[in-house]
């Protein structure tokens, strides 16, 4: 992410908790399945994406760019 001038130093992934999802209009999950909280009336999108943990750097970059593309598309759709 430093290539994009984004500093993620000290950041760690967090489990999606109900209080995080309650304020959202759209909840985007990334393959957490039944472990994710469900709140009736929310719009859910599950982006079933692979875990980048053991991927070669080139694949991580492709995944990063795919997440960016999906995020930009969703933002335009919600605007």
pLDDT range class, residue 77, cuts 50, 70, 90? very high
Enumerate residues 6+ apart whose C-beta is below 8 A from 60: 52
All structural domains of the chain with their residue ranges: 11-78
- pLDDT tens readout for residues 15-35: 778 888 888 889 888 877 677
* CB distance 74 to 45 below 8 Å: yes
- pTM for the whole thing? 0.79
């Amino acid at each position: 992410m430093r290539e994009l001038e984004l500093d993620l130093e000290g950041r760690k992934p967090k489990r999606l908790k109900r209080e995080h999802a309650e304020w959202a209009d759209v909840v985007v999950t990334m393959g957490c399945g039944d472990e994710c909280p469900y709140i009736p009336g929310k719009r859910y999108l599950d982006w079933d994406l692979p875990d980048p943990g053991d991927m070669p750097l080139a694949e991580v970059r492709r995944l990063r760019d795919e997440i960016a593309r999906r995020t930009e598309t969703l933002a335009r759709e919600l605007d």
